[in-house]
Amino acid sequence: MDISNNIHSNEVDDMIILDMFSGGGGLSEGFFRSECKFVSHIEMNHHASMTLETRALYHALDDKDDYYAYLKNEINREQFITENEDLSKQVHESIINEEISSQTKGPIINNIKNIMNKMDVNKIEGIIGGPPCQAYSIMGRSRSPDCMKDDPRNFLYKHYIEFLKEFDPDFFIFENVPGMRSAQKGIILKDLQKKVTKLGYTPEIKILNAENFNVLQSRKRLIIVGHKTEELFFETPNTSNKTKYKVSNILNDLPSLNPGEGMDSYQKYGKNKITGYLKDFNLRTKKDVLIHHQARKHNERDREIYRLAINKWNKEKKRIKYRELPEELKTHKNRKSFEDRFKVIAANSNAAHTVVAHISKDGHYYIHPDIKQARSITVREAARIQSFPDNYKFEGPRTSQYVQVGNAVPPLMAEKLAQKVKEFI
């Protein structure tokens, strides 16, 4: 099949991408690594937008010394941006910190067109991203009195379709939780398929697990790839791969912490060597510095529960149930539902359980497997489970950092998808 008409003024290696509902940048990180360029990232959260700006500037810099000086607290963020003023201005303009709505959609589209003119770009080749998943998630619906039926986030996919209609990219990648298939009894997904088909796309839907993309985490995501070719994307040779490494490979080189210890800012790794997994997938290099490794404070009751949970998991490979706790450690009146309140990271497994944004509220579901530490995991440990490299800086307070990590597409998974899209298109 002749695809020469799909190649525009940009070189193939410089595929031009628009990133919607960007979050902290996990999906865009994979496309950055695959030599793609972005006209814009659209994200409503202020701290996540700052993270996107910091990371986009990192990728724009040939010399990363200023970036590492920022990570080491040798310069602050304002100085980092000022030191690279020309690039910083371009990057800042490309980050659109807005909620996508009926009122803002038009101005955002005009803003993107202005950015394209400044970049001398006449075609967006791909649109990537996925709207917030709370309205589609099975857990979210179970906690809502009306099953999220009237939640306006149900219909954010329609804005995504409007951007497809406006910019007519060669492909799109829409990602969300598997629960989207059953949301509103499947009506939402069917409507999305119908509308993108009318725009000339072939929408292919697949549930992919991050653990098949060298990520040490079981994380299922619904991925829709839309394209205008006659071939099938998911039937082409698969680039996925399940790693041989264990989750312990992303924990064992980090300094041990008691609750409340560590720092969000720069600290030394200590004497532990870089593990094979970190080296093979560039999560930690000799140049990197350790940030976001600060443990939450825990009361002694919670720590005692953590020790029981760790002991049961490490010895029996079983999760502790709330009813199994000693009576003096139980504080909830509801003893029958949500028995699985405490969960230990499975260090000797090939995949940890799914990291979600709820980690920002408490760490009970993400307990470090070392009984001596008896604490929940740090932002850096959660980020590693998600396959973010150690030089990835999350802006904002710790709560926001956890949310950004928990909502993200794992960068290693995103990178494989980006590479496959480039080969396919």
DSSP string, 51-117: HHHHHHHHHH-S--HHHHHHHTTSS-HHHHHHHTHHHHHHHHHHEE-----TTTHHHHHHHHHHHHH
**Does 337 map to a domain?**
no
Asked, for residue 299, whether it belongs to a domain, the answer is no
Q: Would 377 be classed as within a structural domain?
A: no
Taking only Cα atoms into account, the Rg of the chain, rounded to an integer number of angstroms, comes to 22
Q: Would you say residue 164 has pLDDT above 60?
A: yes
**DSSP for 33-45?**
HTT-EEEEEE-S-
In a domain, 177, yes or no: yes
Q: Is residue 396 part of a domain?
A: no
Q: Mean of the per-residue pLDDT values for the chain?
A: 90
pLDDT digits (tens, 9 = 90+) for 35-81: 999 999 999 999 999 999 999 999 999 999 999 999 999 999 999 99
pLDDT value of position 135:
53
Task: Give 176 or 271, the one with higher predicted confidence.
Answer: 176
Cβ contact 320:289 at 8 Å = no
304-322 residue pLDDT tens: 999 999 999 999 999 999 9
pLDDT tier for residue 239 given thresholds of 50, 70 and 90: low
The pLDDT, as a whole number, for residue 147 is: 46
Question: Token pair for residue 119?
Answer: 């970049």
Q: What is the per-residue pLDDT for 4?
A: 29
Q: Which residue do the tokens 């803002």 mark?
A: 104
pLDDT at 154 > cutoff 90: no
Residues 344-381: b if buried by 16+ CB within 10 A, e if exposed: bbbbebbbbbbbbbebbeebbbbbbbbbebbbbbbbbb
> How many residues in total does the chain contain?
425
Arithmetic mean of pLDDT, 74-91: 95
- Examine residue 259 and state whether it is found in any structural domain, yes or no: no
Catalytic residue among 133, 309, 367, 377: 133
For 29, the domain range is 4-243+410-424
| Helical (H) or strand (E) element with 293 | strand 293-294
Rounded to whole angstroms, the Cα distance separating 244 from 362 reads: 30
Is the per-residue pLDDT at 240 higher than 80? Answer: no
The pTM assigned to this predicted structure is 0.91
Residue 61 covered by a domain: yes
CB 132 within 8 A of CB 153: yes
194, 271, 209: which is closest to 243 by C-alpha? Answer: 209
pLDDT > 90 in the chain, percent: 79
> How many structural domains does the chain have?
1
When pLDDT is averaged across residues 106-119 and rounded to a whole number, the result is 97
What is the residue type of 150?
D
Catalytic, 36? Answer: no
For residue 47, give the CATH number of its domain. Answer: 3.40.50.150
The answer to whether 19 and 38 are in contact (CB under 8 A) is yes
How far is Cα 138 from Cα 152, in angstroms, rounded to an integer?
A: 16
**Stretch 239-255: mean pLDDT:** 88
8 pLDDT more than 70: no
Residue 182 confidence class, pLDDT cut points 50, 70, 90: confident
Domain membership of residue 397 (yes or no) is no
Give the closest residue to 372 by CA, choosing from 416, 295, 310, 298: 310
Please state, in angstroms and as integers, the Cα–Cα distance from residue 324 to each residue in 24, 186, 305, 311, 312, following that order. 38, 38, 10, 13, 11
